Chains A and B, each alone.
Chain A
Amino acid sequence: VLSKPNTAKINLDLPPIERWIELSRSYSNQLKATINNVIELADKIDSRIVPFVQEKLPKLAETLPQDYVDEMKSISSGSGLDFGDIVLFNVFYEAFSA
C-alpha cells in the first residue's frame, strides 16, 4: 500500500456546470499529468487519433447527456484543460478499448 486517497465532496445541489470547478482547480496538476499521459499513449498507437478526437469530440459531446456535458465543462473550466481532452478522458474506457 502506497497511500490512501483524499476524500472530496461534489455538491449535487449545484448546477452541473459549477459542480467540479473547485475540485478540478485543486487537482489541476494531477489531472494534466494523467491526461497528457493518455494523449501520449494514444499518439503511440496512431498519431491520427488525438487530432481526430480533439477536433470531433467537443461537437459530439453535445449529444451526451446534458448534465454530464456540463459537468465535464466545469472540470475544463476549473483545471484550465481543453474540453475535448476532458471528454476524451471520460470516454477512454470505450475509446481505448477500441
Chain B
Amino acid sequence: CTSIVAKDGKGGVIHARNMDFGLFLGFDFKNMTWSLTEALRPSLINIDFVRDGQTQFTSASFIGYVGIFTAVRQKKFSLTINERFDVDGGWVGIIEWLLGKHSAHWLGFLTRDVFEKCDNFKCAQDYLMQAEMTLVSPVYFVLASGEDPIGQIIVRDREDVSEVVTIGQEEDKSKSGSWFVLQTNYDPSNEPPFFDDRRHPGLKCMSELSSNAASGDNFISKEGLFDVLSTKPNLNMLTVYTSLIDIKAGIIETFVRECPFP
C-alpha cells in the first residue's frame, strides 16, 4: 500500500491511498496475476454509513467486510491503514485472545470504532494511539484532519506507538514529514528493502509534481496525487484500488486499478 497526506494549497490537506492486497502463495502462474487481488476487485464498494438520514462516515470497502481500511468523516478526519512488514508479528496477541483475553481490539473493529465513536481528529488520534490491539502484524495508521492542515503517520505495535511522523516536522521538502507524509509498508525511520522500495519513487514523484506558492510552501492537487499513485512501482500488480479523499466534502473517489504483468 501507499498512503499520502499532502497540503492542498488552500489551507487544508488531501488524503489518498493505493490499496495493495495479495497473499503469499497466491500467484496464479496460468494468468500471471495475483488471485486474491483479482478476486477482490469486483467486491469493492463505497459505503455511506447513515444515521437519522445523515451520512456519518464513508468508507471504501469490500463486500462482506464490516471494518474499515479507508474512510472519511466529513470535515473532521480521514484514515487509511497500511500493513507493517518491518516487525515480527504479535503472535502473543492471538494466543492471548484464544486463551480468553478478549479486551484487545481486532484491527477492522478498532478502526470502525474510531468512526462510530469519534467526531474529531484528536479523539481519533488518541483512540488509535492508545487502544490495545490483537495485532499479528503491526500496522501504520495514516490520519488526516479536515479542520487543520495535519497529516500524520502513527506506527503501531500491539501495545504501544513506536513512532509518529507529522506534516511540518521535517525541513527538507523532498522528505516525508515536510509538507506531506508518505507511507508504504516499512518503518519511516528505516530504509525500505531494495526489492520493495516504493518510498523513494513516491518521494521523487511528490517533489516533481508539487507546486510552489509565493510563500515558498509546496502543495499538490488531487490530480497530481492521482499521478503519483499511478506511477510504478506505487501502482503495481497487487493494487486493488486508488482512493482520493476530500475530507471537507466527505467524499471518497475510488478507482479500481489494474497494472499488467511487466
A-side residues, CB < 8 A to B, are: 1-13, 20, 23-24, 27, 30-31, 33-35, 37-38, 40-41, 44-45, 60, 63-65, 68, 71-72, 75, 79, 81, 86, 89-91, 93-98
Contact = CB atoms under 8 A, between A and B. Distances in A.
Contacts of B249: none
Size bracket, chain B contacts: 35 or more
B106 A91 contact: yes
Contacts of B201: none
B221 to A, nearest CB: 18
A95 B67 CA distance: 14
A79 B256 contact: no
A94 B25 contact: no
Query: What DSSP secondary structure best describes chain A's contact surface?
Result: helix
A26 B114 CA distance: 28
Nearest to A11: B50
Given A1-B257, A90-B67, A9 B26 contact: no
B107 A71 contact: no
Interface stretch (B37-45, B161-169, B203-211, B212-220): B37-45
Interface in B159-200: none
A90 B48 contact: no
